[in-house]
Amino acid sequence: MSLRLGDIAPNFKASTTEGEIDFYEYLGTGWGILFSHPADYTPVCTTELGRTALLKYEFEKRNVKVLAVSVDPLDKHLGWRNDINETQGCTVDFPIIADEDKTVANLYGMIHPNASETFTVRSLFIIGPDKKVKLMIIYPASTGRNFNEVLRVIDSLQLTANYSVATPADWKGGEDVIVVPAVSTEAAIEKFPKGVKVVKPYLRYTPQPNID
Ligand code: BEZ
């Protein structure tokens, strides 16, 4: 059975470009992103890992640890990492798992045999501090991910976790958010001092609570 939202993200030990890691220990008490790549020394993957490295401070601000995985061996990862740093103007300092025996790929269902028998597709999992899977996005090998969207989802998930609000379609940071159905309008008025706009009893907006 493949993983579903709300499931506990399986723990594992792995050999990475930053040494041996235990996934849960690496995540600590914060948020995590585990994302797979089809193969080393491929162009789209090169840009994705570079982009992730360049967003280091955005992930840190959000208390998110990132971890990449592909089924290539460690020595290949290390050589390729030099190319990524050179071509993308970055320093990749997050771990890239060498998942030669496909332990992680199989645990997380990252191999889709009808796409490729041997390589992982572009799976991305966001894992919460409770170690539960909060988001899964799967892209084909030929499409690089949109990392602005990944950050946007993290912001949305963290707003939900901390303030009981949801985010509407195409929401961007700074725009109004939605009061979740579990909070009554009366409770919302008390909880959100910036105000609550009731469009329908089930559709209530409030300014984003964690900004001035
Ligand atoms: C790439 O990362 O560029 C790539 C990998 C596999 C298939 C197509 C593109």
CATH architecture classification, 13-145: 3-Layer(aba) Sandwich (3.40)
45 counts as catalytic: yes
Single-letter code of the amino acid located at 123? S
Query: Per-residue pLDDT tens for 133-150?
Result: 999 999 999 999 999 999
Best residue for ligand 1 mutational test, from 40, 41, 44, 76 (most atoms within 8 Å of Cβ):
44
* pLDDT of 107: 97
| Mean pLDDT of all residues in 21-49 | 97
Query: Ligand 1 mean position to 108 CA, how many Å?
Result: 20
With beta carbons less than 8 A apart as the criterion, state whether 178 and 203 touch: yes
Compute the distance between CA of residue 53 and CA of residue 151 in angstroms, rounded to an integer: 13
Which whole-number Å values give the CA distances from 58 to 28, 35, 36, 68, in the listed order? 18, 17, 20, 17
The residue whose CA has the least distance to atom 7 of ligand 1 is 141
Q: Which pLDDT does position 160 carry in this prediction?
A: 96
- Domain 163-206: which CATH number of 3.30.420.40, 3.90.1200.10, 3.30.1020.10, 1.10.730.10: 3.30.1020.10
Going by C-alpha positions, the residue among 96, 147, 95, 153 that lies closest to residue 128 is 153
Tens digits of residue pLDDT in 123-182: 999 999 999 999 999 999 999 999 999 999 999 999 999 999 999 999 999 999 999 999
Choosing from 9, 45, 96, 150, which is the catalytic residue?
Answer: 45
Ligand 1 centroid to residue 156 C-alpha, Å: 29
- Core vs surface per residue 29-58: b (16+ CB within 10 A) or e: eebbbbbbbbbbebebbbebbbbbbebeeb
Atom of ligand 1 nearest to the CA of 37: 2
Domain extents for the chain?
A: 13-145, 163-206
Residue 2 has pLDDT above 90, yes or no: no
Q: How far apart are CA 92 and CA 115, in angstroms?
A: 28
How far apart (Å, rounded) are the C-alpha atoms in residues 34 and 148?
16
Decide: pTM greater than 0.85: yes
**How many angstroms does the Cα of residue 46 sit away from the middle of ligand 1?**
9
Q: Best of 41, 142, 143, 145 to mutate for ligand 1, by most ligand atoms within 8 A of CB?
A: 142
Please check whether residue 127 is in contact with residue 64, taking contact to mean a CB–CB distance below 8 angstroms: no
CA distance 165 to 179: 5
Percentage of the chain modeled with pLDDT above 90: 97
